[in-house]
Amino acid sequence: MANNLLAGKKGIIFGALDDKSIAWKIAERCVEEGAQITLTNAPVALRFGQIDELGKKLNAPIIPADATSMEDLENLFTKSMEALGGKIDFVLHSIGMSVNVRKKKSYTNLNYDFMHKTFDISAMSFHRMMQTIWKLDAINDGGSILALTYIAAQRVFPDYSEMAESKALLESFARSFGYHFGVEKNVRVNTVSQSPTWTTAGSGVKGFEEFFGYADKMSPLGNASAESCADYCVTLFSDFTRMVTMQNLYHDGGFSNMGMSPRVLED
């Protein structure tokens, strides 16, 4: 059901790879709610993913950008403003990748070159993105910047490995840059802490299937789907949440406030 919550707004969505990606669902919902968007992903993801299909469906230009390259980011924001006909109103950061997890390194034997790369892609890219927006003065008064995160930033989930620290850094960037964006530009910056979700990035974590079931039982409302995450993000891009900033917002069916659930002990 569309309510035109984003009528007249312009946005940029990072991180739609295929139709399982959380960013894919968010892009679809934003356009349903009346927004005009550009889509972006790393050049390599454009070759292997299905983003072309989404671009056609949503009539959204696709502008490649490696989120670790300042040059690519500048080009992305400049071209997006040209394509959309003015400054943007919202941005979604939906990017995560751990090199050590990919290479199956255990947490007690991490490679630090890989760790640098992981932090750069998964967390520093958020600061890079916000700094580019800041320098180009690319966002309108009342705008909204969001990144997706996970509760491993606060609690220990051993198989999440160095992504836990990436998410802690990402959430801290949201608070620190949120201060500057608030006082000088009247722009919100928040992170949404999402339930485990079946995507390329999600299912790359060891033991994901078992963990997905555990989290589903622990959460009174069950795991939040990518579609419901998209609904929530639409509200955070809309004018109905203009005073919410510098927050880490749990979108997890209640998981984050649970201690124990009898459902976990049932067969």
Q: Which residues bind ligand NAD (CB under 6 A)?
A: 15, 17, 21-23, 41-42, 45, 66-68, 94-97, 121, 148-150, 194, 196-197, 199-202
- Tell me the closest approach of the beta carbon of residue 42 to ligand NAD, in angstroms: 4
- Tell me the closest approach of the beta carbon of residue 151 to ligand NAD, in angstroms: 8
68 vs 154, which CB is nearer to ligand NAD?
A: 68
148 vs 218, which CB is nearer to ligand NAD?
A: 148
- 37 vs 16: CA distance, rounded Å: 13
- Tell me the closest approach of the beta carbon of residue 143 to ligand NAD, in angstroms: 20
- Tell me the closest approach of the beta carbon of residue 205 to ligand NAD, in angstroms: 7
150 vs 181, which CB is nearer to ligand NAD?
A: 150
- Tell me the closest approach of the beta carbon of residue 132 to ligand NAD, in angstroms: 13
- Tell me the closest approach of the beta carbon of residue 120 to ligand NAD, in angstroms: 8
111 vs 140, which CB is nearer to ligand NAD?
A: 111
139 vs 164, which CB is nearer to ligand NAD?
A: 164
- 215 vs 203: CA distance, rounded Å: 14
Distances (CA, A) of 37 to 47, 87, 120, 234: 20, 12, 25, 13
> Tokens at residue 58, please?
């949503």
* β-bridge partners, 190: 146
114 vs 185, which CB is nearer to ligand NAD?
A: 114
